[in-house]
Amino acid sequence: MGGYILKRLISAVPVLFGITIIVFLIMSLIPGDPATAILGSYATPENVEKLNRDLGLDKPMVQRYFIWLGNMLTGDFGRSFSLNRPVIDEVLERFNATMILSGTSFVLCSIFGILAGVISAARQYGFADKAITFVVLIGISVPSFFLGMMMILLFAVHLRWLPVSGMYAIYGGGDLSDLIRHLIMPALALAAVATGVVARLSRSAMLEVLRQDFVRTARANGVPERRVIMGHALRVAMVSILPVLGIQAGFVLSGAVYIEIVFQWPGVGRMLVDAILARDLLVVQGGVVFVAACYVLFNIAVDVAQMLLDPRIKT
Amino acid sequence: MPALKIEHLAKTYPRKRPLFGAAPPGVRAVRPMSFQVETGETLGVVGESGCGKSTLARMLVGLLEPTEGTIEIEGKALGTADPSEFGKLIQYVFQDPQSSLNPRKTIRQVMEAPLKRLHGMAKPARNRRIAEIFASVKLREEFLDRYPHEFSGGQAQRIGIARALAASPRIIILDEPVSALDVSVQAQVLNLLADLKTRFGLTYLFITHDLAVVEAVSERIVVLYFGAVVEIGRADRIFANPRHPYTGLLAESAPVVGRSLAAPEQKGIELPDPLNPPPGCAFAGRCPRATDLCRTREPELKQMGEDQLAACHYPLEN
Amino acid sequence: MSAFLTLLFRNRLAALGAVVIMAILILVLNIPLLPLHDPDVTATADRFMRPFAEGHLLGTDHLGRDLLSRLLHGTRLSLAVGIAAALIAAAIGSAIGIFAGYFGGRTDNIVMRGVDMLMAFPYILLALAIVAALGPGLMNALIAVAAVNVPFFARNIRGITVGLAGREFVDAARLAGMGHTRIVLTELLPNVLPVIVIAMSTTVGWMILETAGLSFLGLGSQPPQADLGSMLGEARSAMISHPHTSIVPGLMIFLIVVSINLLGDGVRDALDPRLRSGALSRPRATTLVKRHGDVPPTTDDLLAIQDLHTEFHVGKRNLRAVDGVSLAVKPGECLGVIGESGSGKSVTALSVMGLVASPPGVITGGAVRFQGEDLIGAPYESLRQKRGDRVAYIFQDPLSTLHPLYRVGQQLAEAIRSHDSLSKAETRARAIELLNDVRIPNAKSRVDDYPHEMSGGMRQRVGIAMALANEPDVIIADEPTTALDVTVQAQILSLLDDLRRERGLAIIFITHDFGVVAQLCDRVAVMYAGRIVEEGPTQAVLDAPAHPYTKRLIACVPELGGGRRELAAIPGLPPVLDDLPSGCAFAPRCNKAAKSCRQGEIPLQGPALRTVRCLFPERTL
Ligand SMILES: Nc1ncnc2c1ncn2[C@@H]1O[C@H](COP(=O)(O)OP(=O)(O)OP(=O)(O)O)[C@@H](O)[C@H]1O
Ligand code: SF4
Ligand code: SF4
Ligand SMILES: [Mg+2]
């Protein structure tokens, strides 16, 4: 198993390379002079030239890529002009907040999604199935940002149960319970779509598996129905659910951008949007590469879990 | 001149190189084998699952590039695997009649392809030819405008045979052509095949795992084991007088009315591992006669009796 | 096409979705004809008018612009951009997928590496990076959304293509002389197209959401032009004071996406052949029972199937798979059931313990008695307790019938512990003992193998061990050797025969091979079209078949040692089960059929244990 993890880690290296290349290529799509684009059209020529030199933009592209890559490997993601601090510091701080939010949502969507899917499949065409299918349909159709806004209106403005936005209360906040109170709405709004997707997939995976011959064998052996569904069938269904959880993690991270805006959550997503609007491209570059790299590592964890689940995968 | 002659034909599937180290030796699905099929003959090929029957068949029609060896049809050597070159001489009838027909094409479209692509026939000529072939496989012409899912297995297999005939080949490879069919339909298709053979002067290579079927349709039989020919002989004698112990085991294992049930004598029960083949005779692990010689040296195919060949150091006596 | 539409609109929700989305489309396409305000004309005096205000049906926004007009214009824009993104992504992604999937090998490897690379991004990062580079704007948002969806299509379509490219009809096309381009265009594309349509119909809603999302962030459409996303984004600052400006565009997005999703699901169901027949339904724990008529009286057999009727209700069709079958076994007896594919052998066998997949299976009559007790009407728990414990099964394909992810020892243990509460160590010891009983060498280490690590013959031995786990009285073996090679089959058969003699097991052995029946079974029943047509001691039936079908079936199976010969075929095909002829089901294929054969019920008659269902049997019994 150690060998498998090592193998997957090694095979991630080219993927990480690829990510940096893709980001670099996209960034070099910027029309015109990048320094002017960054500094805006009112920049003085000296400033532009200085920035060009600072960024190494006067060098050929391939060389520029490797300089950028080398800097990143030493933890130097450059300096944000709009925030006036090193990009890596800002990214790390923001990433922490994003992880709290999307991690919670991911756990929620995995648990509730699979549970709903299994119940739905086990009670196919029954009341529970219909109710779940209906809720799921709404969940995957409503834009998360709109859902978030409506939740604020209802729970924060009208009912005053929860704080409107932010991560901690401005005065006297900062402890765990404060964080949780702030977290409830954004985490639920963010989890809604992913839960729906996971539930749908789990349902169809379970239905698929329940028709397979080994389920009949288990029943023919007199295995109790509860065990048949929660043990035999779910175990095999997980083989196809797990990769989808990996993909959903990406969707949760993505959806976090909207939710962070709606709930003023100080995460990476908001940072990126602000940076794009401010044309602070170093922040965009650094943030994208950092989060993508983390996501790659997460997917390796998913693969390892898959390997543990399915002995047919050769280590 | 034989209709089909293969020499040292072999296929090794390469295996993936691991992250570190050299690529492991490939899987030798078909070990170098040579035999020929006379014009107008039906040569049966039997063997258990995984013994390389289909790999052999796919090489013969050019769907798969052999690793080594040559294929000669009516004295003409065929070069690299190119199905459109092979197609005019040699055709293939597939095991699963349904999946060998494109679900989204009418039977007419299926039938027209070889006429148009291989023989460049014009529309009226094509229609005439299709009508002819359909009559000879006893299918009604109204089927031509239907889709494959509307046919039963037996009918679909007739269509598969009709398509093979449309290319006007000299040889047809029949890869388990009746094993997906019901027993009562099986006989219909087998009889049709025999009829077509005499009518069009065809040569057949009949691949199957069913000993009784192969015996009923072929003149000679090739027995494969683990990718290699272990015995070749006349159909009417090979199972009654096997020389290779494996052929003997096959013959004894086949359930026959009136013969009592006894697990045939053999030691091991596992087939050898293709990823890690044993040295020497591949059958040694299961063979009651195996000695150290068998486990170290691979036996070669040798003439035994006038028209029988077997690859065994200690062949069975007559 | 019309069949597709019928199927689609049979699904009422999909029809509802279609109607809503059509209505929206018609509305926005006719915008120039509608009496609307100019969407971009501001009137600060009329800011934030509530819905149903005069002249402004939905009120106005923060600049006093008419919300209804902006809503319709925005909807048009959002739909156009979302659908365009979906089309672009589908076209490019599918082309890449088909290309990689068909050519395989290194091409595939390189292309899919690139796709994996793109999928290694949480998609919005990629979209944000693209927008960051190209600058905010609706066109750029469209490009970004299309670009991030390309890999999804590529991967999905590649998978399908790989499956299709390995199918035999592609080989056949190559042998018919077709080139690669032609094969891709005429053989693959028509088969991939439904999948592309399914993928598109299920993602177009998603892409509309995504473009709206980018606009919401201010990265899509730029003022004054507005799509639904940017309307929502602009309204957000006034969300608390004037919620209607947010709710109006938000609900519109929701409405569009919900109806597209409903429609998409309908399209998927109508195009997916597996879903079409309603096949994707979960088999219940026991077969549904709806018995008509009387329950036959008790007999003193160990296991008796009495006048069993099992049907499949598929759509409007009613397949009578088992139509009045009666069979019985005594301890130590082996009963063979023989017949062609589809004659109802498996369904008969599975009905015994209520294992017929249901839906669509329904047991509609008769009884199955185990030691006199009726199993058909029994409650689930009492049936479960007998499953595997008193009556056990061995199935055909040992790979698919064993659980792929549990070790064989665990599976045996589970079978044991479903009926006995033994300790962990005891069950393990018992599992090893069982593997020894079925002559698996090295049982001690083999017990920890997974099924995929064993050969077919070994797996079937495990299947037999599992059936023996609770020392049942009856074993029902449904073609246990059909999937195996002859040499392995011989071993399995002799193993079963030994076990039966050692333990006095009763076996019902299903097969289509006369040789197997002859070697193993004491008695044999021949089935045709859901009925037993002949029954008797094996030797008697094989030597002197009385039913024309039995006789001709025996004749058309070649037998080893018979030499090269013409086979006697039976013309025609077995009948379809939802349209059985009245009278004898074999009459259309029987050369002795007379008028009387085609009417009325023909009973199974003859002396005890030797019966035939025929008016003109081959011999008198
Ligand atoms: N799940 C199902 N849904 C619909 N029809 C079914 C289903 N299972 C079986 N049938 C039908 O019931 C009939 C009897 O099937 P059964 O499986 O008993 O045949 P069999 O004699 O066991 O054939 P085989 O030799 O192929 O195993 C067939 O016509 C089949 O199409
Ligand atoms: S060569 Fe030896 S091991 Fe091989 S079949 Fe002959 S006797 Fe058996
Ligand atoms: S009842 Fe009539 S049709 Fe049926 S098998 Fe007997 S003779 Fe033939
Ligand atoms: Mg069956």
pLDDT in tens, C5-26: 777 777 788 889 999 999 999 9
- B249·C487 Cβ contact <8 A: yes
Q: How far apart are the first and last CA of chain B?
A: 31
- Say whether pLDDT at B174 is over 60: yes
Is the distance from CB of B226 to CB of B298 less than 8 angstroms?
Answer: no
The per-residue pLDDT for B241 is 92
- Label residue A62 exposed, middle or buried (CB < 10 Å: 0-12, 13-18, 19+): exposed
- Say whether pLDDT at B94 is over 80: yes
Is the distance from CB of B141 to CB of B134 less than 8 angstroms?
Answer: yes
- Give the structural domain span for C26: 2-30+65-275
Q: How far apart are the first and last CA of chain C?
A: 57
Distance CA B313, CA B318 (A): 15
- C355·A273 Cβ contact <8 A: no
Taking residue A171's Cβ as centre, other Cβ atoms within 10 Å add up to: 6
Of C114, C247, C419, the CB nearest to A222: C419
The per-residue pLDDT for B109 is 93
Average pLDDT of chain C to the nearest whole number: 88
Taking residue A73's Cβ as centre, other Cβ atoms within 10 Å add up to: 9
Q: How much distance in Å is there from the Cα of C316 to the middle of ligand 4?
A: 24
- Average pLDDT score over residue span B110-129: 92
- Close Cβ partners of C576 (under 8 Å, ≥ 6 residues apart): none
Domain membership flag for residue B82: yes
* Structure token pair of residue B109: 């479209």
Task: Give the best residue of A29, A80, A141, A274 to mutate against chain C (max C CB count within 10 A).
Answer: A141
* B-chain residue closest to A8, CA distance: B19
The per-residue pLDDT for B266 is 55
* Size (chain A), residues: 315
User: What CATH number is given to the structural domain containing C177?
Assistant: 1.10.3720.10
- Say whether pLDDT at C3 is over 80: no
Domain membership flag for residue B103: yes
Is the distance from CB of A66 to CB of A238 less than 8 angstroms?
Answer: no
Distances (CA, A) of C26 to A253, C33, C78, C444: 36, 11, 15, 72
- Say whether pLDDT at C560 is over 60: yes
> Which helix (H) or strand (E) covers residue C340, if one does?
none
Compute, in degrees rounded to 10, the torsion defined by CA atoms A26, C203, A110, A131.
160
The per-residue pLDDT for A173 is 66
- Ligand 2 interacting residues, C-beta cut-off 6 A: B 244-245, 281, 283-284, 287, 289-290, 294, 299, 312-314
| Nearest-neighbour CA in chain C from A124: distance (Å) | 7
pLDDT per residue as tens digits for the range C439-477:
888 889 899 999 998 888 889 999 999 999 999 999 999
Of C122, C386, C397, the CB nearest to A213: C397
All chains having 3 or more CB pairs closer than 8 angstroms to chain A:
B, C
Domain membership flag for residue C197: yes
For chain C, percent of residues with pLDDT exceeding 70:
98
Looking at the structure of chain C, the number of domains it has is: 2
Residue C618 CA: which ligand is closest? Answer: 3
For chain A, percent of residues with pLDDT exceeding 90:
38
Domain membership flag for residue B232: no
Of C217, C246, C258, the CB nearest to A141: C258
* A-chain residue closest to B18, CA distance: A7
Domain membership flag for residue C262: yes
| Nearest-neighbour CA in chain B from A205: distance (Å) | 25
The per-residue pLDDT for C293 is 82
- B215·C563 Cβ contact <8 A: yes
Cα Rg for chain B, rounded, in angstroms? Answer: 21
Would you call A126 helix, strand, or coil by DSSP? coil
Of the candidates C620, C583, C581, C574, the residue with the CA atom closest to the CA atom of residue C601: C583
- A220·C121 Cβ contact <8 A: no
* C-chain residue closest to B115, CA distance: C176
- Close Cβ partners of C256 (under 8 Å, ≥ 6 residues apart): C21, C24, C75, C78, C79, C205, C208, C228
- Ligand 3 interacting residues, C-beta cut-off 6 A: C 548, 584, 586-587, 590, 592-593, 597, 602, 614-616
What is the pLDDT confidence band of residue B74, given thresholds at 50, 70 and 90?
confident
Decide which of A315 and A223 is more confident: A223
Domain membership flag for residue B193: yes
* B-chain residue closest to C513, CA distance: B255
pLDDT per residue as tens digits for the range C337-359:
999 888 999 999 999 999 999 88
pLDDT per residue as tens digits for the range C289-345:
999 888 888 888 899 999 999 999 887 888 899 999 999 999 999 999 999 888 999
Of the candidates C371, C375, C374, the residue with the CA atom closest to the CA atom of residue C331: C371
Taking residue C108's Cβ as centre, other Cβ atoms within 10 Å add up to: 18
HSE-up of residue A214 (Cα within 13 Å, Cβ side): 23
The answer to whether residues C100 and C248 belong to one domain is yes
pLDDT per residue as tens digits for the range A31-88:
656 566 566 666 677 777 777 776 666 677 788 888 888 888 888 888 887 788 888 8
Distance CA C347, CA C478 (A): 10
* C-chain residue closest to B262, CA distance: C494
Tell me which of B247, B283, B302, B304 to substitute to probe ligand 2's pocket, judged by most ligand atoms within 8 Å of the beta carbon: B283
- Average pLDDT score over residue span B270-275: 74
Determine the atom of ligand 3 nearest the C-alpha atom of C584. 4
Q: How much distance in Å is there from the Cα of B4 to the middle of ligand 4?
A: 40
User: What CATH number is given to the structural domain containing B201?
Assistant: 3.40.50.300
- Average pLDDT score over residue span B40-57: 90
Taking residue C131's Cβ as centre, other Cβ atoms within 10 Å add up to: 26
CA C95, chain centre distance (Å): 28
The per-residue pLDDT for C473 is 94
- Say whether pLDDT at C593 is over 70: yes
Q: What is the pTM of this model?
A: 0.87
SS3 of C462-511: the string is: HHHHHHHCCCCCEEEEECCCCCCCHHHHHHHHHHHHHHHHHHCCEEEEEE
Ligand 1 contact, C314 CB (< 6 A): yes
Domain membership flag for residue C442: yes
Take atom 28 of ligand 1 and give the residue whose Cα is closest.
C342
- Average pLDDT score over residue span C553-572: 83
Of A26, A208, A254, the CB nearest to C123: A254
Can you say whether residue C476 is alpha, beta or left, with left for phi > 0 and alpha for psi between -120 and 50 degrees? beta
B19 touches chain A (CB under 8 A): yes
| Nearest-neighbour CA in chain B from A11: distance (Å) | 9
* Structure token pair of residue B216: 């009923």
- Average pLDDT score over residue span A84-98: 89
What is the pLDDT confidence band of residue A312, given thresholds at 50, 70 and 90?
confident
Take atom 12 of ligand 1 and give the residue whose Cα is closest.
C321
Q: Which residue has the tokens 């080139």?
A: C179
The per-residue pLDDT for C48 is 75
- Say whether pLDDT at C432 is over 90: yes
Taking residue C609's Cβ as centre, other Cβ atoms within 10 Å add up to: 11
Q: How much distance in Å is there from the Cα of C548 to the middle of ligand 3?
A: 7
Domain membership flag for residue C385: no
Of C113, C388, C397, the CB nearest to A220: C388
Ion ligand 4: residues, CB within 5 A, are: C 346
Is the distance from CB of C326 to CB of C533 less than 8 angstroms?
Answer: no
Tell me which of C284, C308, C313, C319 to substitute to probe ligand 1's pocket, judged by most ligand atoms within 8 Å of the beta carbon: C319
pLDDT per residue as tens digits for the range C364-416:
999 999 999 999 988 999 999 999 999 999 998 888 899 999 999 999 999 99
Q: Given CA atoms C49, C54, C59, C60 in this order, what sign does their dihedral have?
A: negative
The answer to whether residues C401 and C266 belong to one domain is no
End position of a domain, from candidates C410, C444, C462: C462
Distance CA A82, CA A279 (A): 9
End position of a domain, from candidates C230, C256, C275: C275
Of the candidates A45, A206, B215, B194, the residue with the CA atom closest to the CA atom of residue C559: B215
| Contact list, A10 vs chain B (CB under 8 Å) | 19
* B-chain residue closest to A11, CA distance: B19
Distances (CA, A) of B220 to B7, B224, C486: 18, 13, 20
The per-residue pLDDT for B81 is 67
Distance CA C175, CA C500 (A): 51
Take atom 1 of ligand 3 and give the residue whose Cα is closest.
C614
The per-residue pLDDT for B264 is 60
Distance CA A85, CA A91 (A): 11
- Close Cβ partners of C210 (under 8 Å, ≥ 6 residues apart): C82, C85, C127, C145, C148
Determine the atom of ligand 3 nearest the C-alpha atom of C616. 7
Q: How much distance in Å is there from the Cα of C314 to the middle of ligand 1?
A: 13
A65-69, C120-124, C276-280: the lowest-pLDDT one: C276-280
* Structure token pair of residue C8: 């689609």
Task: Compute the C-alpha angle B219/B161/B120, nearest 5°.
Answer: 120
The per-residue pLDDT for B56 is 93
Residue C617 CA: which ligand is closest? Answer: 3
Of C167, C458, C569, the CB nearest to B191: C569
Looking at the structure of chain B, the number of domains it has is: 1
- Label residue B318 exposed, middle or buried (CB < 10 Å: 0-12, 13-18, 19+): exposed
What is the pLDDT confidence band of residue B124, given thresholds at 50, 70 and 90?
very high
pLDDT per residue as tens digits for the range A156-207:
888 888 887 877 777 766 788 888 888 999 999 999 999 999 999 999 899 9
Decide which of C287 and C277 is more confident: C287
Residue C323 CA: which ligand is closest? Answer: 1
Domain membership flag for residue C234: yes
Q: What is the DSSP string of A263-297?
A: TT--SHHHHHHHHHHTT-HHHHHHHHHHHHHHHHH
B21 touches chain A (CB under 8 A): no
Domain membership flag for residue B247: no
- Give the structural domain span for B157: 4-218
DSSP A160: -
* Size (chain C), residues: 621
Distances (CA, A) of A191 to A109, A195, A259, B250, C251: 5, 6, 10, 61, 19
pLDDT per residue as tens digits for the range C204-219:
888 999 999 999 988 8
Of the candidates C104, C89, C90, C110, the residue with the CA atom closest to the CA atom of residue C161: C104
Beta strands in chain A (DSSP E): 79-80, 85-86
Q: How much distance in Å is there from the Cα of A115 to the middle of ligand 2?
A: 58
Q: How far apart are the first and last CA of chain A?
A: 7
Tell me which of B225, B226, B266, B314 to substitute to probe ligand 2's pocket, judged by most ligand atoms within 8 Å of the beta carbon: B314
- Say whether pLDDT at C537 is over 70: yes
* Structure token pair of residue A312: 């047919």
- Average pLDDT score over residue span B70-95: 84
All chains having 3 or more CB pairs closer than 8 angstroms to chain C:
A, B
- B102·C169 Cβ contact <8 A: yes
The per-residue pLDDT for B312 is 94
Is the distance from CB of A190 to CB of A252 less than 8 angstroms?
Answer: yes
Would you call C364 helix, strand, or coil by DSSP? strand
* B-chain residue closest to A314, CA distance: B18
Q: What is the DSSP string of chain B?
A: --SEEEEEEEEEE--PPPSSSPPPPPEEEEEEEEEEE-TT-EEEEE--TTSSHHHHHHHHTTSS--SEEEEEETTEEE-S--HHHHTTTEEEE-S-TTTTS-TTS-HHHHHHHHHHHHH---HHHHHHHHHHHHHHTT--GGGGGS-GGGS-HHHHHHHHHHHHHHT--SEEEEESTTTTS-HHHHHHHHHHHHHHHHHHT-EEEEEES-HHHHHHH-SEEEEEETTEEEEEEEHHHHTTS--SHHHHHHHHHS--TTS---PPS-S--SPPPTTSPPSS-TTGGG-TT--HHHHHSPPPPEE-STT-EE--SSPPP-
HSE-up of residue B233 (Cα within 13 Å, Cβ side): 25
Distance CA C575, CA B260 (A): 35
Q: ipTM of this complex > 0.95?
A: no
SS3 of B161-202: the string is: HHHHHHCCCCEEEEECCCCCCCHHHHHHHHHHHHHHHHHHCC
